[in-house]
Every structure is written in structure tokens, then in C-alpha cells.
Structure 1
Amino acid sequence: MTNQIASIIEADVVVVGAGPAGIHAALAAGRGGAKTVLIERYGFAGGMSTAALVYPWMTFHTTEGKQVIKGTGQEMVDRLTALNASPGHVRDTCGFVHTITPFHPEVYKVLAVDMLKEAGVRLLFHSFVDDVSVKDNSINGVTVTTKSGRIKLKGRIFIDTSGDADLAYLSGAPVLQGREGDHLTQPMTMKFRMRGVNLSKVKAYIIEHPDEFYHKTPFDELPDLYLSAVQGFYKHWKEADLPIKRDQVLFFSGPEADEVLVNMTRIQGLDGTNVEDLTLAEELGRKQVLMVADFMKRSLPGFEEASISQVGTQIGIRESRRIEGQYILSMHDVIEGKRFEDVIARSGYPIDVHAPSGNNVNVSWIEGDGAYDIPYRCLLPQNIDNLLVGGRCISTSHEALGTTRLSPSCMATGQASGTAAALAIKHNISPQDVSIKELQALLYQNGAILD
């Protein structure tokens, strides 16, 4: 293949990355009347929710149960529920948050595409952005490599929902990575599913041995609840003494009645934007999957007949690059439940930082009403006038990313970025000049919660 451009596509809005943020960004832009193209490197939508098996979605609510994320994210849940592909929001039976939202990933892949096409969004799957053209602080085109040659996409507004700030980085916008000082990021995890699990036996064991499980587990209510999540088996994990820096067993039920999603492998010290590190992470992650599955089958009650049913298409990445935007959301902003005049989304998920080194998870809870604001300025990079971001790569500190990276939060910031892009196209202005009041009114109109 040569470097020549095989074809050119023109659009109002170009969105890069079809994860939870990208789906909702493209959906909002398309519904807002903008001619929108969504680029995705895989052959399906969903990003980490599908390719890396990030399941279930958590959370649309505060720890007290107040819903703070709706909009197109809630619409997606409602449509999945109507298709019998999600029970909706259910209690988190490990008690870490109030609700989690299971979904069937294969139905989600199809529904996401249906909704995007309903909104008039053009999809380019199997397309990898490898070049960005910038002139006078504006992106005038991106080039993708495909099976049918290189394609150039010209747009007026671009949205980076790649998760890794790929578009922002390639455009020359300033980016951050990892924690301050050593730049280490949260570890990567290869997730996997097991079938043949006797969840009734698991639940009975939890009820009989509460001291072996997370202290916030709703033990008194457990007999009457669907067992959605399990966190603990501390004794079993300690006795196994596996070479994995985790301190407990963690898994979630579904989507099938005898199936669980296991979140226990941990790959530390590698860079999710470095191809050789990613290659090594995939190798180590898959070896850890076999190790953990063998441990669970041998040691955990209810897993005697279990076997691996699915492993992620790729390793799950919690943290890589993020933009250094016009405002950097801080840990204190989150913990204090800070309010902003330019709020475009809220979240009730606590700060949850998987240690870049060591075996623990550092959690900080939100004060006040249990939710915090995400300001519009976190979606606006420096130096590039026609670029917005949504999802995992918005402008935050390393610690604050421990909450904004969660899928429902990504859906909300994605909807906001797509809505802002459509407004910028409508008024022929840059995203920086979009009226906050008009943006907020449109988000309200389309179901978002901002107060």
C-alpha cells in the first residue's frame, strides 16, 4: 500500500473512537443536524465496554441511590431493557456503589449501530487514524488507514473520544499522562468470562461467611437480591498466593444466568500508548487469565464446574493520555462535590484509583449530595480551536480520572461534546464560543441531569 489518499470524505463533525463516549458524541451531533462521521478501529462499536469486556456499567447513581446521569445513556439502557438485553439498574451486591447496570454486549453492539444510523451518522469501522493535518490552530483533516487504502476526512469540528487522546496528541494539543512525578498510570486488566458458575452456591457461602467479603456488602438484604457483584473471598485469594498484585476476588454476574465477568488480572508499569508495552501487556494478561481461572475453579465454592467462556479482544486500559485542557478537574473538586457554572455532566462514582504499584485500590468518597460537576472547559483542549474531547481523555488530574473514566460518565461527556459540536456547526463558531446556557438547555432538553 502506498501513502497516497484513496478517497476523501467531507463532514461537519468527525468523531474518533466508538466507545461509550464516541457513540454518544456522534449520536448527539447527528441528532443535532450535523453531518457526522464516526471512525472506529475495530469492526464493532462499544470500545472498552465490548473490546475489553468492561462490564457492567457503573454507575448512573450516587452511593445513596440518586440518579445523576440520564440523557442518551439512559435511553440506551431503556432500549436494551426493551430488548431483554439488560435488567436496567440493579443493586450492587458488593455494596461499593448503589447500582450497577448489566447489559448484553452483543445486543449492545447492534443497538449502538442502529441508533447511530437512525441519527444519520456515517460509520467507518476497521479504520485507524494515523495522521492529523493542522493549520492555524485548527485541524483541517485526519487520515485513516483502511483495507481499501488511506482515506482523508475533512471536517469543521473534530471530537476525540479515542480514550487515549490520540487525535489531540497527533494534533499537537498538550496532553498529560499518569500521576504527577513518575507518570505511572493505573494498571491494565485483561477481563474474562466464565460459564458453569453456581451463583446460588456462591450467595449461600457469602451469607454464611460475611467476614470474608467486602464490608459494605448488603448481607441482610442479600437473600432477596439478585447477586450482581461479589468482592472478597479474601482467605481464598491470600492462600492462593498468586503472582498478581490484587488483594481480593472481584466478579460480576451475567449476562447469562450461570456466567460471571472476572476483573482480577493486573498489569502494572506498562504504557498503554506504547506498542511494545501493549504487546507485552496482552501476553502477560492472557497468562494471568489462565492462572486466575484455574484458581477460581479449584478454590471457590460454586466454580467447581466453571470454565472460561470469553476473554477480552484486547486488554482493558484504565488510563493513558488525557488532554491538558482549559480546566483540569482535580481530586478536591470531586471529593467536595464542586459545582461549576459551565457544568455539562454530573457523576456520583467515587474516585477509584487502582494503584500503579502495589496491590491496593485507593478510594475517595464524594461529600455533600454525593455527586460532582464536570465543567465544559474539561472538554476543550489548549491550542486547537476546533477540537472537543469526551470520555476517558477529558482534562483531569490522575486522581480525578479515577471517576471520570467510568462508562456512564463517558456517555455523559460524550453527549455533551457532540451537542456542543452540533451547536458550533449551527452557529458557524468554534467550540470555545458555544453559549454555555444554550448548550445546557439542549442537554436538559435531551434528558441530561445538570442539577
Structure 2
Amino acid sequence: MKIMEADIVVCGGGPAGVNAAIAAGRSGARTILIERYGFIGGMSTAALVYPWMTFHTSDGKQVIKGIAQEIIDRLMEMNGSPGHVRDTVGFVNTITPYHPELYKVLAHDMLKEAGVKLLLHSFMDEVRTTNSTINSIQLTTKSGKIEVKGKVFVDTTGDADLAYYAGAPCLQGRDGDSLTQPMTMKFRMRGVDLERVKRYIIENPDEFYRKTPFDELEQLPLSGVLGFYRHWKEAALPINRDQILFFTGPAEDEVLVNTTRVQGLDGTDVENLTEAEELGRKQVLMVANFMTANLPGFEKASISDVGAQIGIRETRRIDGLYALQSEDVVNGRRFADVIARSGYPIDIHDPSGKGVTAAWVKGDGAYDIPYRCLLPKHINNLLVGGRCISTTHEALATTRLTPSCMATGQAAGTAAGIAFKSGVAPADIDIAVLQQELVTGGAILQ
């Protein structure tokens, strides 16, 4: 078996993993990033999760920067993003469209610049531990088995795979029945007449989300739409949802549709996932046919892209040293060990019903994510970033969003670098040193 060695090993090449690996690499530590697909970007690329939302509070104050903002700035230079734009759905203040193919290339470039070794087409299937310390992970690859040894490990798999296989306690779903938020197969359509869509919204406001900025739509570029309530209700499709949701771009006649809903299946169970993929793709055809037949502006539209896999909102999360609570989010709680902030509201897609439960952040519109949420119990040399940090089911409904994942990923990678250089466990590093390095790296902690 081939053996590789690194100082820091990051598992999962989504936005959290990319940012964690860049931060770790910039610390000077030998860093390896492992990804199962032949490209990086995680849900943002494999599942077409688009746009990124949000870097700002409901009042428009930016609370997430750092490596995440570096990526946006460089995408803008490549004509791969317009930057942060107003959300014409009205759910948040801003959203950030991006071109997924350009993001794949840019992220790869930034990893190389940071000295990170990238292993694609590599599936982690075993974790070897001794006395609560991870020694190595085993990969299955096209060229055979590879054992990767490291000093500090970072789990950015989204599903807490590394933590789970290492024996760290994990939780899943809501209290009582363990059901998770539904999965969604996302797809793109081209040939959409967006000016016709906008005109219909302005003339029929009762059919759209109440927070849509109707008074500003004449001046704003259309970035997203939530509604067509009457059309959806009359169609009575067998999908447990009550409206159409789509976002515009990257092309001028293109939208990303976020409407399918697959409920009651476990995203960590291979048979459940297989069923979800089948159901999701059938729903894509159903929704696309409905849209072209019924929605103004979609008469000439057609499917141009479907996710390589179904989008997953929630699976396992670690049971960490602290679990972020819904009250922490809603009340905009501050923590002494803050390592990231977010202004995204609690946004729970009902695990069994039709609706979405939302709760906005009070106070200045942002809440803190404490460092303890990145630290699993019982494993000494492991950090976690992204969707599977330690939260309740309700709080996960905000921390799961990509900009928040980017921020916790950067924090995990930075902390891993400090732990390695200091020769201590991640739980024992100096929080003030971590916070200073994050601020130096552009993060917002106040």
C-alpha cells in the first residue's frame, strides 16, 4: 500500500475544505486535501448549489470576508461573479452568484498557490486511531489503496464522515424522529425570458413571496424569484412543496431551479441515496415540464444542466464541545471564542411537510460561531468545518449555508496550522492567537 505523509490532512473538497486547506497551507504546514470527485467545490459544483447566500446581515452589513471574499474578488476579475447583489426574493439582503466552472479552476489555483497537495478521485473508507488520536486515513483510489498519515486532521466532508469513522460522537436530524431536512435535485434552464418574468411579478405581486422588494424591481436586476403560488397550486404536482424557487444566471437567459423535494431519506445510507437520486431526477423532469407549460417567460426554456448528485442539506453533525443553539442565532449571541460570524437566518425546509420555517437574527443582525463548535468530543487531533460542525438541528439550518461554511472552514484550517506548529491538540491552542490570525487573514469577528 502506498503511504503519504502530511502535517495537516483535510477531507472533503467543498468550499469549507478548500478554505480550510488554503488556510492550513498558508500557515506553512504540509497540507493534503482529499476529494472523492474529479473536481472540487462540493455541493456548490456537484449539486449546483447556487447562489452563495449570504455574506451580509439583513441590513446589508458584511460579516463574512477572509478567504471567502478573496474568492469572490478573484472570480469578479475573471468575470465569474457580479459580486454581492441584492436578493430580489427578499429572503436575505444579498446573494452572490458565481460561475461554477470558473470557481473549480480558481479554487484549484489558490490551493496550488498555498502549497496544498490535492488528491481527487479519492474515497476515504477507513480511519485508524490510537488512544483517541487519528494516525492515518485510508483511501480507495483508481491506483489502489493509499494510506495518508498526518498530525492534525480536518473534517469538511459535510457528512462528518471522518469524525464518524474515527469514533467521535455524532448526531443526525431533529430531536424525536431524527428526520433531516429534505434533499433537492437542482437543475438549470436556458432560454428563459427574464424580462417577461419580472414584468409578471410586478403586475401580480400577490403571487409571490411577501418580502419581495416589489417597489425596487424596476431598477434592480432580477436575481431570484419565490412564488408562482397559484400556478403551483393548480398544477398539484406530487412534490411536497408550496411554491417555485429559482435564481438567475450565470447566463442572461439562465436560471437555477431549487424546487424538487425528496423527504424521509437518509443521506448517509447508500440505498436511501440511490432512491433519492432516482426520485430527484424524475422530479426535475416533472418541474421543468410544468414550468415551460405554465410560467410566463419559460415558454421556450429547456433543461441545460442537472446536478451530478442530489443536493443534501443535512446529515450527520458532530456532538462537539458546544452545540450552537437556535436561541444563540436568533438573539445574535456573542462568544469569547468566536471564530466566525453569520447573518443568515434559520431556514428549515420541513423534513416532512410542505413549508419552510424561518427566524431572523435580532440585534445587529449577526451571531457568533464559537471555536468549540469545531471541536469533536473524544478525538484529540481533529477539527471540523462546514456543514457538520456542532449545532442543534435548528441552528444547522443557518450554519449549513456556503458562506458560513467557508468561514468555519478557514477557521478550522487556521487552527490546525496553529496546533501543528505549537505541538498541541486543537482544543489547547491559544484562542487569542487564533482570532488574531483569522483577523489578519481578513475574517470579521466583531
Do these two structures clear the TM 0.5 threshold for a shared fold by scoring above it? yes
Does 2:180 match 1:192? no
The corresponding residue for 2:32 is 37
Does 2:50 match 1:65? no
The corresponding residue for 1:118 is 113
Does 2:108 match 1:133? no
In structure 1, C-alpha distance between the alignment counterparts of 2:64 and 2:75, rounded to whole Å: 16
Alignment of structure 1 residues 293-442 onto 2, 5 Å: 293-442=288-437
The corresponding residue for 2:246 is 251
Alignment of structure 1 residues 101-250 onto 2, 5 Å: 101-250=96-245
Letter in 2 for 1:230: V
In structure 2, C-alpha distance between the alignment counterparts of 1:142 and 1:405, rounded to whole Å: 25
Deviation beyond 6 Å, 4+ runs, structure 1 = none
In structure 1, C-alpha distance between the alignment counterparts of 2:311 and 2:128, rounded to whole Å: 29
Secondary structure at the counterpart of residue 423 of structure 1: helix
Deviations 1:332-391 (A, max 9, x none): 110110000000000000000000001000001111111000000000000000000000
Secondary structure at the counterpart of residue 33 of structure 2: strand
Unaligned runs of 5+ in 1: none
Secondary structure at the counterpart of residue 178 of structure 2: coil
Secondary structure at the counterpart of residue 144 of structure 1: strand
Letter in 2 for 1:62: T
Quote the offset at 1:132 in angstroms.
0.3
In structure 1, C-alpha distance between the alignment counterparts of 2:210 and 2:351, rounded to whole Å: 24
Quote the offset at 1:76 in angstroms.
0.3
In structure 2, C-alpha distance between the alignment counterparts of 1:444 and 1:212, rounded to whole Å: 44
1:277 is aligned, of 253, 269, 272, to: 272
In structure 2, C-alpha distance between the alignment counterparts of 1:434 and 1:21, rounded to whole Å: 21
Quote the offset at 1:19 in angstroms.
0.4
The corresponding residue for 1:89 is 84
In structure 2, C-alpha distance between the alignment counterparts of 1:285 and 1:137, rounded to whole Å: 39
Count, aligned residues: 446
Quote the offset at 1:425 in angstroms.
1.0
The corresponding residue for 2:41 is 46
Quote the offset at 1:268 in angstroms.
0.3
In structure 1, C-alpha distance between the alignment counterparts of 2:274 and 2:292, rounded to whole Å: 28
In structure 2, C-alpha distance between the alignment counterparts of 1:345 and 1:84, rounded to whole Å: 28
Secondary structure at the counterpart of residue 283 of structure 1: helix
Letter in 1 for 2:208: F
Letter in 2 for 1:219: F
Letter in 1 for 2:29: A
Does 2:234 match 1:265? no
Quote the offset at 1:233 in angstroms.
0.5
In structure 1, C-alpha distance between the alignment counterparts of 2:330 and 2:24, rounded to whole Å: 31
Identity %: 71
Secondary structure at the counterpart of residue 223 of structure 1: coil
Taking structure 2 as the reference length, the TM-score comes to 1.00
Taking structure 1 as the reference length, the TM-score comes to 0.99
In structure 2, C-alpha distance between the alignment counterparts of 1:220 and 1:187, rounded to whole Å: 33
In structure 2, C-alpha distance between the alignment counterparts of 1:94 and 1:166, rounded to whole Å: 34
In structure 2, C-alpha distance between the alignment counterparts of 1:36 and 1:217, rounded to whole Å: 44
Unaligned runs of 5+ in 2: none
Secondary structure at the counterpart of residue 276 of structure 2: helix
Quote the offset at 1:37 in angstroms.
0.2
Query: RMSD over aligned Cα, in angstroms?
Result: 0.4
